[in-house]
């Protein structure tokens, strides 16, 4: 009887440790684009399904902003968000000035999904979020508009390269499947 209780206790601890490890991905803060106050990602987006994308205003894939915004609008009420992270890591295809990035995204593509501060997404200077995304998938962004899908539990579900458009049936199906998971309580 004691051994059964011990096994149950170990299983509960393993589940707790897994949940703690999963929440670690979002345990960080970033400033909104051209903003001053940092946003705690875990507190604000914990329990949601997220599509995290490194963006660039002067890239050939920039028209993907339209499909990203459409996904965000379509699934937002179900607990989904697109999170954009501008980066100039690939041929400096992003403006240096965050207000210029914000203006370009809003006026050119009508972006309303959350955009955050300009960051590095590859190499030794990569921000911790992108280091963790690359570690979880074995795939760092190879170019702008790389997409990572994160489930309600904070675990990375899938990753797609730049050439896969946001409204690709595989991405839409993965988002819809992830949205079926019960909502997690945010912290």
Active-site residues, by number, are 59
Angle between helices 169-179 and 64-75 (to 10 degrees): 20
Enclosing H/E stretch for 75: helix 64-75
Distance CA 137, CA 135 (A): 6
C-alpha distance across the termini of the chain, in Å: 36
Q: Burial-class residue 10 by CB neighbours within 10 Å (0-12, 13-18, 19+).
A: exposed
Structure tokens at 101: 């990035």
Cβ atoms of 152 and 181 within 8 Å: the answer is yes
């Amino acid at each position: 009887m004691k051994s059964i209780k011990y096994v149950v206790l170990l299983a509960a601890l393993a589940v707790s440790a897994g949940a703690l490890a999963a929440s670690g991905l979002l345990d960080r803060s970033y400033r909104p684009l051209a903003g001053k106050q940092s946003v705690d990602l875990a507190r604000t987006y914990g329990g949601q399904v997220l599509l995290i994308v490194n963006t660039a205003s002067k890239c050939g894939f920039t028209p993907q902003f339209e499909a990203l915004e459409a996904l965000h609008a379509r699934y937002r009420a179900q607990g989904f968000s697109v999170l954009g992270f501008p980066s100039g890591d690939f041929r400096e295809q992003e403006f240096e000035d965050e207000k210029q990035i914000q203006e370009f995204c809003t006026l050119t593509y009508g972006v309303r999904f959350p955009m955050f501060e300009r960051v590095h997404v590859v190499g030794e200077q990569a921000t911790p979020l992108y280091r963790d995304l690359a570690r979880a998938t074995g795939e760092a962004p190879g170019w702008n508009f790389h997409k990572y899908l994160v489930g309600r539990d904070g675990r990375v579900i899938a990753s797609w390269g730049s050439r896969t458009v946001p409204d690709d049936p595989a991405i839409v199906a993965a988002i819809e499947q992830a949205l079926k998971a019960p909502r997690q309580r945010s912290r």
